[in-house]
Amino acid sequence: MGTDENLKLLPLDDMHRAAGARFGGFAGWSMPITYPLGVMKEHLHTREKAGLFDISHMKLFDVSGSGAGDLLSHACPLDAGSLQHGQSKYTFFLNEQAGILDDLIVTRLGEEHFIVVANAGNAAGDEAHLRNLAKNFDCKIDALDHGFLAIQGPQAADVVRDAGIAGTELAFMNGFAPNPGWFMSRSGYTGEDGFEIGLPSGEARELATRLLADERVAWIGLAARDSLRLEAGLCLHGQDINPDIDPVDAGLTWAISKPVREKAVFIGARALLDKIAAGPGRKRVGLKPDGRQPVRSDSVLVDVDGNSIGLVTSGGFGPSAGHPVAMGYVGKHFAAVGTLIFAEVRGNRIQMHIHPLPFTPHRYHKG
C-alpha cells in the first residue's frame, strides 16, 4: 500500500481523527478502520440502531446525454433504457471473457441521466474503461469529486427523517437527486436498510454533523463494514470477485435479466452465455468453521482426503451470527449445504461445513 504519505485523505479526515479513529490504507485511501467503540460494538450498533459510514473513497460517475443508456447497456449486462426513472440496478463491468472488472450500482435519474457507483480500488480503471467506450456514444461522463456517506441499520430511516432529509419514501434499490449536486439511494452493503448520500464535499461535513447529533448514530469503520457485508453474503471486489471470476461461478447471474441475455449487446456476452450454458465449474459458498477459530482469506480448502477443492476469499468473525463466518469457492460437487470440508491454516486443518448465504437475514426496506 506504500507509506501513509501516498494515501489520499477523505474530505472529512479531521472529523474521523477527532472521533478517535484508527486508520489504515485501503484502495489508496487512508480509511478509518475502527473507532473507540471497537469493531464488535460498531457491528452490533449498526444491526441494532444506525451506523454512519464515510464511503467517500468510492467513485460516482455522472453519465448523461442521448447515448448514455446505450453506452451503459454495452458496458454492462444491463438494459439501461428499461430502468424506471429512479430505479437502481446492481450490475458489472465485464471483460471479453466475462470476468468481473468491477461490480457497480447504476441508477437512472432521468431520461438521459444516470449515476454509476464504482469501487474505490477500480475507480481509475473504471473511468478509463468508460471514457474509452464513450467515444462511440453521444454522451458525457463526469467523475464527481464528492463526499459520500452511508447510513445503515433498522433506525436509519427514522434518523434521516428526523434530520429533515428527504428520501425516506424511496423504495429499496431506488435513487434520486434531493438537492442540486446531491445523489441519494436506498440500498446498503450491510444487509440492513439504509441510504447512501453523495454530495459536494463542502456540504458533507454539515450532513455528517447533523446525523451524528442523533444519539442513535455512531461512526462505523471499515473493519465492521467488512464483517457486516460478509454476514450478509455480499461480495467484495478484489477478494470474492475479480477479473478471473465470472458471474456464473460467483452466483450473480440473477443480476442479468433474460432480455439482456437474449439481446447480448454487452461486452463479454458470448463468453457469459457459453458459461451459463455450461454451468459453473466452481461455486461461491458460505463457510462455517465448526470451532471458534476464524478462517482468513486465501486459506486453501481441502476435502476429507486432503485434495485441494477451493479457496476462502473472505473470512472473519460474525458478531451477529455469533460464530466465525467465511465465503469462498469450491468445486461444484462440494457446494451442497452441509458438506464437510477443511481449511488449511498454518499447518492445521480447520473443520468447516458449507453454510447457506446470507449468515444473517437481509432486512432491506421492500415497502
Band of pLDDT at residue 2, cut at 50, 70 and 90: very low
pLDDT of 176 over the 90 cut: yes
Instruction: Supply 350's cell numbers.
Output: 480447520
pLDDT at residue 5 greater than cutoff 90: no
Q: What is the pLDDT of residue 299?
A: 98
pLDDT at residue 339, as a whole number: 98
Confidence class of residue 1 from pLDDT cuts 50, 70 and 90?
Answer: very low
pLDDT tens, position by position, 277-308 = 999 999 999 999 999 999 999 999 999 999 99
Quick one: three-class SS letters along the chain?
Answer: CCCHHHCEECCCHHHHHHCCCEEEEECCEEEEEECCCCHHHHHHHHHHCEEEEECCCCEEEEEECCCHHHHHHHHCCCCHHHCCCCEEEEEEEECCCCCEEEEEEEEEEECCEEEEEECHHHHHHHHHHHHHHHCCCCCEEEEECEEEEEEECCCHHHHHHHCCCCCCCCCCCEEECCCCCCEEECCCCCCECEEEEEEEHHHHHHHHHHHHCCCCEEECCHHHHHHHHHHCCCCCECCCECCCCCCCCCCCHHHCCHHHHHHCCCCCHHHHHHHHHHCCCEEEEEEEECCCCCCCCCCEEECCCCCEEEEEEEEEEECCCCEEEEEEEEEHHHCCCCCEEEEEECCEEEEEEEECCCCCCCECCCC
Is residue 3 scored above 80 in pLDDT? no
At 4 the pLDDT is 61
Residue 269 has pLDDT above 80, yes or no: yes
pLDDT at residue 11 in the model = 97
Question: The pTM is what?
Answer: 0.96
- Give the pLDDT score at 366: 82
- What is the average pLDDT value for the chain, to the nearest integer? 97
Work out the pLDDT band at 85, boundaries 50, 70, 90.
Answer: very high
Beta bridge partners of 93: 102
